[in-house]
């Protein structure tokens, strides 16, 4: 069910991207905020300028993560992702196998728990 | 706000109507403390007759019933009466006010012309007011107002009336601001005490709500809403703290088991029932939340923000479920589902009640969440109460239903008369399987339609998928199938592997129930190769295929796509050229990666091949995909790798046209349109699923076969052997497993191989660069046997010519080479010559081998070149076996050899060119009357050496008309000086030419002499 939730959240991401349109394009706000509240999860979204989508899913019972924490998590994720992309040996589209990226994600997960 | 009015009640009653009506007519600017922005407000007031018991007691927190201003009404204009009774009454009134700390008061003196007329002995009117002022209004002269005959229509009375109203408003606002400020301060103080043991949230709630009521009354809905939001946040924080282990005593009352779950009630402005519960401290968590939300909802609708209601509602419902979990409140299972379901519908009804259709349609994105949530919850209830099953609810299910219905209580009076109320819907849905289905389908379809309308296709399909699950549980796979396939399609096109696997499993179940064996087996194959599943599951699906395959029904052949079963990785030809002659072995090694979890034994793997109508050998350039080492690599068929095409970047430099200076430089991506399209996931949602296209095996195709092959999980190699001659293209691959065939319908890149059949060939070539005439020369005979096998007794028959005899050599031997130029054998040749024919018997040689041997021949140099030339001229045709040509100073002799081969009835004509190694020139030299003949013999082979010989001509009598000469030179090659070779001869004729004195005659004769181009001319002067 979890993966289905993430999948359907793309609907909202697309809606937000298209809805934002040109008015917000200049402001470069990549964080899309809470996309999708469900009984069990809160789904947050983030879209890079090249339309790479990040989604963070937080358990609803987790109340320690507020909007600001999520925002900074996305920023960290984005930075690390950019590093991965800068690797000349990485082909876009391949599964990411970078240890650095992995450890960034793991530390965020540990912090969240 | 309340006014308490003392004094002359009749007077007040007469004015009451116009006062209440006219007071709110004009707004007042309300300046507020704590830097809050000033607001224009309209004051509304209630006038109540003064009674001492109405005065607020110490500690009273009620703001709504608080008397903000006390007014003493009098129309006394007689100082005697004033002194006698009115003054005393006023003093009592003032004392009562002072006792309760009330400083907001006003004395209104109404003067009437009627009274004035009657009592002429009165003091001037002003003196009464002055008296009152001096008696009561100590330095506050504005507390006493005189009102001039308000019931009259004169301009004077109007003026006095409006200034009175202004005064009243000002004083009221002053009092209001002061009292409200005090109230807020007290409230804050109370809030600060919230950590103290005896503090009660409910009490505090009532206090702050009082403030909210006041704001609401003043139509300051925003401020009122803030009060509720603060209460909401405060409560939430308490629950969270409680969850974190920091418990508050008062929270205990909210942890009582949930006994009633009749949902939100949003149709009353204030739900007094619930408010009372809170006031008494008996409210449950749901009661408090419901009440809070109903108030927030009311205010938001006043503020015309209905879409905030829906968003907050969803948040509230999720939050309540979480909070009950956190507080570990015991709830009957299903009770919360009921509460959420009813609440969702109630919110939707409320919103529908205050918006028109077009507004609703434009804001579907705000309501669809509630619809979906309600649908989900109804579904949960259906599952719980046994309403989603083939057999209907059992007795245990029915008991649960009864319990749940009991918790709903009686329907509220507000909705009793509405046939579509959430309450009735839920009751009906839980009453029977059919009714449940009706309501569930209705909600699901509504939610799906809404999602589709706002373009949330993924969400719509997810609703469809849960609908499919519903149908499956109802034992109706037919209805489920399309929903599942729809979902699958979107997961496939977006490559979401986990949902894909899960959905595919559901589809497998559905197809199995529908007995769609082809589809089921195809799905099973995909699942068996799906690494997202556990080994057990994969084995199960693999076994399903094997079981079906081993069934005996002959007619039920099933063709499946090979891509799910095994992946073709590489093909290797041996030999690597993929080009062999007939009867040689061409091996095709297939590298297959089996995706099955267990070894699978196939009866046969076959590759269908297509005969290509092309000239042998012309296919070489078409095998571009074939590497030099004979391998063909097949790209992985997965869509991910197919889409991972590289960026095609190119440099762009722009020079300005005027001075050719670089104006801009950049990098552009040429295939951006492709890459961008792949990345845009929205457009790829509806791409067709290629896996389901029909698989057909080409009929009547030729096959390469391998039987009884066991494919182990992972890499396997299978060898085919090709033998039939021709150029073939590999078309399809088919693995047969009992009744099941796995077919790879197209092989790409195109793979071709060639098995050729070759006619035997004979060629004769010189061993050296030039063959020399006059010397024994070696020529090489090469026989490519092709498909012919040389048998014992086979011989080559060379027809002899006089000009080129074959020389016998006892050491002559033949070499037999394989097609790959490997020396296999060497054997002696026997050569027999008769008068006309030389016969060379060949050793036994298998087909497609090469036979080589050397033969020595001697080409005689024609003795007289001049004569041969003339011969040719007279005949005018080339019937001869030898022919002399002249080329760049050398004389060439073409020799044609006719050979009869054992494999053909026709003779093979082979041409050999010999070079004459000498060149001879003669000339007639004169010295006075003496004549000399000089012959120059030039060796053309070695250093162009020349040998000159000179003879003097003398004749005894008259010189002859013509003199025939023969020059002959013996020669031998340098490496064999003793060789007995036929000497080289050269014929020439000297002729006498007489020239008369007549020059013209001479020229004619000269021309005639030149015609004999090969004859030397000597002249007698």
**Domain CATH code at residue B34:** 3.40.50
State the average pLDDT over residues B861-882: 47
Note the pLDDT tens digit of each residue in B136-176: 776 666 777 777 766 667 777 777 778 888 887 888 888 88
Is residue B656 in some structural domain?
yes
CB contact under 8 A, B458 and A51: no
Alpha carbons B426 and B420: distance in angstroms, whole number:
10
Report chain B residues whose CB lies below 8 A from the CB of A55.
none
Note whether B20 and B104 are same-domain residues: yes
User: Which of B699, B730, B756 is the last residue in one of the domains?
Assistant: B756
The span from the CA of B826 to the CA of B813, in Å, is 7
CATH number at residue B834: 2.60.40.740
Residues 6+ apart with CB under 8 A from B276: none
Label residue B475 left, alpha or beta by phi (over 0 means left) and psi (-120 to 50 means alpha): left
User: How many Cβ contacts (< 8 angstroms) between chains A and B?
Assistant: 59
- Report the C-alpha gap between B226 and A71 in whole angstroms: 27
**How many Cα atoms are found within 13 Å in the side-chain-facing hemisphere of B395?**
0
Residue B443 has pLDDT above 90, yes or no: yes
Contacts of B193 (CB under 8 A, 6+ apart): B199
Q: Is the confidence at residue B1008, as pLDDT, over 80?
A: no
| Most confident stretch, B99-113, B211-225, B851-865 | B211-225
B→A interface, C-beta within 8 Å:
240, 243, 314-315, 317-318, 321-322, 325-326, 365, 369, 373, 451, 454-459, 462, 465, 491, 494, 496, 498-499, 502, 640, 643-644, 646, 679-682
Residues in chain A: 113
**Residue B246 C-beta-side C-alpha neighbours within 13 Å:** 8
Rounded to the nearest 10°, the torsion over CA B386, B388, B392, B398 is 20
pLDDT higher than 60, residue B1005: no
Closest CA to B286 of B269, B268, B267, B265: B265
pLDDT number for residue B691: 41
Task: List, edge to edge, every strand of the sheet that includes B46-49.
Answer: B46-49, B2-7, B67-74, B105-111, B144-148
* Pair (B737, B713) in one structural domain: yes
Q: Which residues contact B899 (CB under 8 A, 6 or more apart)?
A: B762, B764, B796, B797, B798, B799, B907, B908, B909, B910
The shortest C-alpha distance from B317 to chain A (Å) reads 8
Mean pLDDT of B731-743: 86
**Is B684 strand, coil or helix?**
helix
CB B498 within 8 A of CB A3: yes
Average pLDDT (B723-742) is: 84
Say if residue B467's pLDDT is above 90: yes
- On chain A, the residues whose CB falls within 8 A of the CB of B369 are 37
Task: Based on the fold, state whether residues B908 and B922 are members of the same structural domain.
Answer: no
Q: Angle, nearest 10°, between helix axes B9-22 and B155-192? A: 80
Q: From A102, A105, A84, A101, select the one nearest A93 (Cα to Cα).
A: A84
Residue B462 to residue B914: CA distance in whole angstroms: 91
Segment B756-777 shows an average pLDDT of: 84
End-to-end CA, chain A: 20
Same domain? For B713 and B586 the reply is: yes
pLDDT band, residue B637 (cuts 50/70/90) = low
Contacts of B365 in chain A (CB under 8 A): 15
Query: Which of B585, B586, B581 minimizes the C-alpha distance to B847?
Result: B581
Nearest to B106 by CA among B141, B79, B144, B75: B144
Long-range contacts of the stretch B657-666 (C-beta < 8 A, 24+): none
Distance between alpha carbon B154 and the CA centroid of its chain, in Å?
A: 85
Which residue segment(s) compose the domain that B153 sits in?
A: 2-189
Q: What is the pLDDT of residues A30-57, one digit of tens each?
A: 888 888 788 888 899 999 888 889 999 9
Residue B770 burial by Cβ neighbours in a 10 Å radius (0-12, 13-18, 19+): middle
CB spacing of A7 vs B458 below 8 angstroms: yes
Check if the beta carbon of residue B656 is closer than 8 Å to that of residue B663: yes
- Find, among B87, B89, B83, the residue nearest to B6 by Cα: B89
Q: Report yes or no: B667 and B652 within 8 Å, Cβ to Cβ.
A: yes
Q: Which of A62, A63, A65, A89 would best serve as a mutation to test chain B binding (most B beta carbons within 10 A)?
A: A63
Do B653 and B679 fall within a single domain?
Answer: yes
* Residue in A closest to B466 by C-alpha: A1
Distance of CA B592 to the CA centre of its chain: 27
Residue of B nearest to A93 (CA): B644
Query: Does B476 fall in a domain?
Result: no
Cβ contacts of B491 on chain A, cutoff 8 Å: 7
CA angle B818, B821, B824 (to 5 degrees): 45
Substitution target from B311, B379, B499, B681 for chain A, most A beta carbons within 10 A: B499
**B458–A15: do the CB atoms touch at under 8 Å?**
no
B968-981 per-position pLDDT tens digit:
888 887 777 777 78
The reply to whether B874 falls in a domain is no
Backbone angles phi, psi at B507, to 5 degrees: -65, -40
One domain for residues B43 and B148 = yes
| B675 plus B606 within the same structural domain | yes
pLDDT for res B149: 67
Of residues B197 and B293, the one with the higher pLDDT is: B293
| C-alpha span between B742 and B525 (Å, rounded) | 10
Measure in Å the smallest separation between the Cα of A100 and chain B Cα atoms: 24
pLDDT higher than threshold 60 for residue B421: yes
For residue B52, is pLDDT > 50? yes
DSSP state string for B963-1015: EEEEEEE----TT-TT---PPEEEEEEEE-----S-HHHHHHHHHHHHHSTTS
Lowest mean pLDDT among B29-43, B307-321, B466-480, B632-646: B632-646
The chain B residue lying nearest A38, using CA atoms, is B318
Q: Is the pLDDT of residue B639 over 50?
A: no
| Cβ(B278)–Cβ(B352) below 8 Å | no
Lowest mean pLDDT among B479-493, B499-513, B674-688, B900-914: B674-688
Dihedrals phi, psi of B692, to nearest 5 degrees:
-100, 5
Joined tokens for residue B62: 């009620």
* CB-based contact B337:B384 (threshold 8 Å): yes
Inter-chain CB proximity A10 and B457 less than 8 Å: no
E strand map for B575-656? 579-581, 586-594, 600-612, 631-633, 649-655
Q: E strands along B420-565, which residues?
A: 558-561
- Among B326, B365, B459, the strongest candidate for a mutation testing the A interface, having the largest count of A CBs within 10 A, is B459
Task: Give the number of other CB atoms < 10 A from CB of residue B456.
Answer: 23
Residue where a domain terminates, one of B155, B189, B223:
B189
Q: Where are the alpha helices (DSSP H) in B249-305?
A: 272-279, 285-302
What CATH class is the domain A1-108?
alpha beta
Alpha helices (H) in B566-671, listed in sequence order: 639-643
Rg of the Cα atoms in chain B: 61
- For residues B372-387, average pLDDT: 93
**B14 and B139 both lie in a single domain:** yes
Give the C-alpha separation, B986 to B965, whole Å.
8
Residue B308 lies in a domain: no
User: Once rounded to an integer, what is the mean pLDDT over residues B111-115?
Assistant: 62
Residue B613: which residues within 8 A CB-CB, separation 6 or more?
Answer: none
Question: Do the domain assignments include residue B14?
Answer: yes
Q: Which helix (H) or strand (E) holds B823?
A: strand B823-828
> What's the Cα-to-Cα distance from B525 to each of B227, B491, B545, B741, rounded to whole Å?
62, 18, 7, 12
- Would the CB atoms of A91 and B315 count as touching at under 8 Å? no
Give the CA count within 13 Å in the CB-facing half-sphere of B982: 14
> Out of B52-61, B531-540, B593-602, which region has the weakest mean confidence (pLDDT)?
B52-61
CA distance to partner chain A, nearest, from residue B372 (Å): 10
pLDDT exceeds 70 at position B20: yes
State the nearest Cα–Cα gap between A76 and chain B, in angstroms.
23
Chain A residue numbers touching B643 (CB-CB < 8 A): 93
Q: Which residue in B317, B458, B499 is closest to A11 by CB distance?
A: B458
Residue of B325, B496, B646 with shortest CB distance to A7 = B496
Q: Are residues B700 and B805 in the same domain?
A: no
CB contact under 8 A, A4 and B679: no
Residue B72 belongs to a domain? yes
CA distance B383 to B182: 56
CA dist B740 and B548 (Å) reads 8
Q: Could you tell me if residue B578 is inside a domain?
A: yes
CB-based contacts of B17: which residues, under 8 Å, 6+ apart?
A: none
CA angle B221, B222, B223 (to 5 degrees): 90
The total domain count for chain B is 4
- Model-wide pTM > 0.90: no
Are residues A7 and B640, on separate chains, in Cβ contact within 8 Å?
Answer: no
Tell me which range, B62-71, B129-138, B943-952, is most confidently predicted by mean pLDDT: B943-952
Average pLDDT, chain B: 80
Among chain B residues, the shortest Cα distance to A3 is held by B499
| Beta pairing, strands B105-111 & B67-74 | parallel
Structure tokens at B307: 């879409």
What are the respective helix, strand and coil percentages of chain B, to the nearest 5?
Answer: 40, 25, 35
Phi and psi (nearest 5°) for B835? -65, -40
Mean pLDDT (whole number) for B278-285: 87
Q: At what angle do helices B285-302 and B335-354 cross, to 10 degrees?
A: 10
Cα separation, B710 vs B717, in Å, equals 10
Q: Are residues B751 and B807 in the same domain?
A: no
Domain identity same for B587 and B698: yes
Residues B936 and B894 in one domain: no
- Whether B245 contacts B100, CB under 8 Å: no
- How many angstroms separate the CA atoms of B456 and A7, rounded? 11
Q: Which H helix or E strand runs over B22? A: helix B9-22
- Do residues B961 and B989 lie in contact, with contact meaning Cβ atoms separated by under 8 Å? no
């Amino acid at each position: 069910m979890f993966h289905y939730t993430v999948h359907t959240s793309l609907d909202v991401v697309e809606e937000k991207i298209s809805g934002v349109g040109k008015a917000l394009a200049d402001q470069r706000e990549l964080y899309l905020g809470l996309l999708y509240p469900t009984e069990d999860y809160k789904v947050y979204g983030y879209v890079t300028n090249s339309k790479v989508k990040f989604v963070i899913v937080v358990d609803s019972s987790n109340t320690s993560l507020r909007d600001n924490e999520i925002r900074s998590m996305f920023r960290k994720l984005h930075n690390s992702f950019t590093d991965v992309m800068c690797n000349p040996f990485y082909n876009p589209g391949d599964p990411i196998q970078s240890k650095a990226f992995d450890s960034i994600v793991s530390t965020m997960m540990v912090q969240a728990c | 706000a309340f006014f308490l009015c003392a004094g002359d009640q009749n007077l007040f009653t007469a004015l009451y109507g116009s006062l209440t009506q006219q007071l709110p007519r004009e707004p007042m600017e309300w300046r507020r403390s704590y830097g809050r922005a000033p607001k224009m407000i309209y004051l509304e007031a209630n006038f109540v007759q003064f009674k001492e018991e109405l005065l607020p007691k110490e500690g009273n927190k009620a703001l709504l019933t608080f008397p903000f201003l006390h007014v003493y009404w009098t129309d006394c204009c007689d100082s005697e009466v004033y002194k006698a009774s009115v003054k005393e009454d006023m003093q009592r009134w003032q004392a009562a006010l002072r006792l309760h700390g009330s400083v907001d008061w006003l004395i209104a003196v109404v003067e009437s012309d009627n009274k004035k007329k009657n009592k002429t002995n009165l003091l001037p009117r002003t003196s009464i007011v002055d008296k009152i002022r001096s008696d009561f209004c100590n330095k506050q002269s504005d507390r006493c107002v005189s009102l001039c005959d308000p019931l009259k229509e004169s301009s004077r009375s109007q003026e006095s009336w409006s200034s009175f109203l202004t005064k009243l408003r000002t004083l009221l606002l002053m009092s209001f601001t002061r009292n409200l400020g005090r109230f807020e301060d007290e409230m804050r103080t109370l809030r600060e005490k919230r950590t103290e043991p005896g503090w009660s949230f409910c009490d505090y709630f009532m206090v702050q709500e009082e403030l909210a009521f006041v704001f609401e009354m003043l139509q300051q809905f925003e401020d009122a809403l803030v009060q509720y939001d603060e209460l909401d946040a405060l409560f939430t924080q308490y629950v969270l703290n409680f969850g974190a282990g920091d418990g508050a005593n008062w929270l205990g009352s909210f942890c009582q088991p949930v006994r009633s779950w009749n949902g939100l009630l949003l149709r009353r402005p204030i739900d007094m029932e619930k408010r009372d519960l809170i006031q008494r401290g008996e409210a449950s968590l749901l009661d408090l939340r419901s009440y809070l939300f109903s108030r927030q909802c009311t205010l938001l609708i006043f503020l015309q923000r209905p879409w905030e209601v829906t968003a907050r509602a969803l948040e509230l419902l999720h939050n309540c479920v979480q909070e009950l979990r956190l507080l570990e409140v015991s709830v009957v299972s299903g009770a919360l589902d009921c509460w959420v379901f009813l609440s969702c519908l109630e919110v939707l009804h409320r919103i529908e009640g205050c918006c028109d259709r077009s507004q609703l349609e434009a804001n579907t994105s705000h309501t669809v969440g509630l619809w979906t949530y309600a649908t989900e919850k109804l579904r949960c209830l259906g599952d719980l109460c046994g309403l989603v099953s083939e057999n209907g609810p059992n007795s245990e299910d029915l008991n649960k239903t009864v319990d749940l219905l009991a918790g709903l209580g009686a329907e509220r009076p507000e909705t009793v008369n509405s046939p579509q109320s959430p309450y009735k819907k839920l009751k009906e849905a839980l009453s029977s399987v059919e009714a449940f289905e009706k309501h569930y389908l209705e909600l699901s379809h509504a939610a799906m339609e809404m999602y589709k309308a706002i373009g949330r296709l993924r969400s719509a399909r997810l609703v469809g998928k849960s609908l499919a699950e519903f149908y499956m549980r109802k034992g109706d796979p037919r209805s489920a199938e399309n929903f599942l396939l729809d979902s699958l399609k979107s997961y496939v096109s977006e490559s979401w592997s986990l949902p894909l696997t899960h959905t595919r499993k559901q589809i497998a179940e559905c197809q199995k129930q529908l007995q769609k064996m082809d589809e089921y087996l195809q799905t099973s194959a995909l699942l068996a190769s799906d690494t997202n599943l556990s080994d057990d599951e994969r084995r199960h699906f693999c076994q399903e295929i094997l079981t079906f395959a081993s069934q005996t029904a002959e007619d039920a052949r099933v063709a499946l796509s090979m891509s799910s079963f095994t992946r073709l990785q590489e093909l290797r030809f041996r030999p690597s050229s993929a080009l062999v002659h007939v009867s040689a072995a061409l091996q095709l090694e297939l590298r297959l990666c089996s995706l099955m979890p267990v070894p699978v034994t196939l009866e046969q793997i076959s590759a269908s091949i297509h005969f290509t109508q092309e000239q042998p050998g012309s296919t070489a350039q078409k095998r571009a995909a074939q590497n030099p080492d004979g391998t063909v690599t097949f790209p992985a068929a997965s869509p991910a790798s197919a889409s991972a095409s590289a960026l095609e970047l190119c440099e762009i430099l722009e020079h300005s046209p005027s001075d050719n200076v670089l104006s801009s430089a950049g990098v552009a991506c040429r295939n951006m349109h492709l890459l961008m399209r792949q990345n845009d996931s929205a457009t790829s949602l509806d791409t067709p699923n290629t896996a389901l296209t029909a698989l057909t095996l080409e009929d009547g195709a030729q096959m390469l076969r391998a039987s009884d092959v066991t494919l182990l999980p992972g890499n396997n190699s299978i060898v085919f052997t090709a033998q039939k001659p021709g150029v073939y293209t590999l078309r399809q691959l088919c693995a047969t497993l009992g009744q099941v065939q796995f077919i790879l319908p197209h092989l790409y890149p195109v793979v071709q191989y060639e098995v050729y059949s070759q006619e035997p060939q004979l060629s004769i070539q010189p061993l050296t660069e030039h063959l020399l005439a006059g010397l024994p020369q070696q020529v090489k005979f090469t026989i490519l046997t092709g498909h012919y096998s040389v048998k014992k007794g086979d011989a080559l028959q060379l027809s002899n010519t006089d000009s080129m005899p074959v020389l016998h050599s006892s050491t002559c031997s033949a070499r037999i080479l394989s097609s790959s130029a490997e020396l296999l054998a060497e054997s002696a040749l026997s050569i027999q010559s008769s008068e006309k024919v030389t016969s060379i018997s060949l050793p036994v040689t298998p087909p497609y081998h090469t036979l080589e041997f050397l033969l020595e021949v001697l080409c005689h140099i024609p003795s007289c070149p001049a004569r041969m030339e003339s011969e040719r001229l007279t005949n005018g045709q080339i019937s001869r076996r030898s022919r002399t040509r002249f080329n760049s100073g050398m004389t060439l002799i073409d020799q044609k050899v006719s050979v009869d081969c054992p494999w053909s009835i026709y003779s093979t004509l082979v041409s050999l060119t010999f070079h004459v190694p000498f060149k001879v020139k003669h000339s007639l030299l004169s010295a006075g009357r003496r004549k000399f003949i000089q012959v120059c013999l030039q060796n053309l082979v070695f250093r162009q050496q020349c040998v000159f010989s000179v003879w003097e001509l003398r004749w005894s009598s008259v010189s002859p008309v013509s003199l025939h000469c023969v020059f002959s030179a013996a020669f031998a090659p340098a490496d064999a000086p003793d060789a007995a070779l036929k000497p080289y001869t050269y014929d020439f004729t000297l002729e006498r030419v007489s020239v008369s004195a007549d020059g013209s005659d001479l020229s004619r004769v000269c021309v005639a002499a030149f015609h004999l181009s090969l004859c030397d001319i000597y002249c007698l002067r």
